[in-house]
Structure 1
Amino acid sequence: MWLAGEAQTGGAGIIQMIWPFVLMFAVFYFLLIRPQQKKQKQRTSMLNQLKKGDKISTIGGLHGTVVELTDDTVVLRVNDTTKMTFERSAINTIITSAPEVKES
């Protein structure tokens, strides 16, 4: 009987040791991992919604209007004569979205 009681205490000790780690993981998940995943999903959605005529800002702070789009690149018109090509991932924010064009 003495051995059975000792085994039960050892099992409870392991659960007591693991509980803080489970709690820490839950805190990290809800405070760090989950918000980062949500932010990444919003950014991907924003990049997928880019269209010609959108006024955008790049990560470097350059402002321009989208002239051409491909899967990986974006061509921006910065002024009347200058066009610049950027990776799509270099887009930071959409300042104003171009109006929807309805095709009849």
Structure 2
Amino acid sequence: WSSAEDRALVDALTEWKQNGKQAQNGWPQDAWNSCAKRMVAEFDSPKTAKQCSEHWSTVITATDEIWDAYLEKHPNDKRWRTESFPLYNEIFNLVDGLIATGKGAFH
């Protein structure tokens, strides 16, 4: 995922929220399908709805031991250990006020 693709994903989800199409506990499948189509249209980057959803839900929190082991294999990712995510405020606006209750979860 490039920075431009990250921005497009956040922009697409922002549009869904502004149009009142965000569920209380997340995004409907139609949102992810729309995001995947946008990736192809804007970047000729074949992303699936599942890839968009999984990319969106990635959170980087780890102990020093885990970071050290990860960075041995992925040295190009070391900036994420100390730098904040550049779209943090935009993403915060997408999830502000949402509460995951587990209702409808499959166990």
TM-score range, shorter chain: under 0.3
TM-score between both structures, scaled by the size of structure 2:
0.22
Larger Rg: 1
TM-score between both structures, scaled by the size of structure 1:
0.23
More strand per residue: 1 or 2?
Answer: 1
More helix per residue: 1 or 2?
Answer: 2
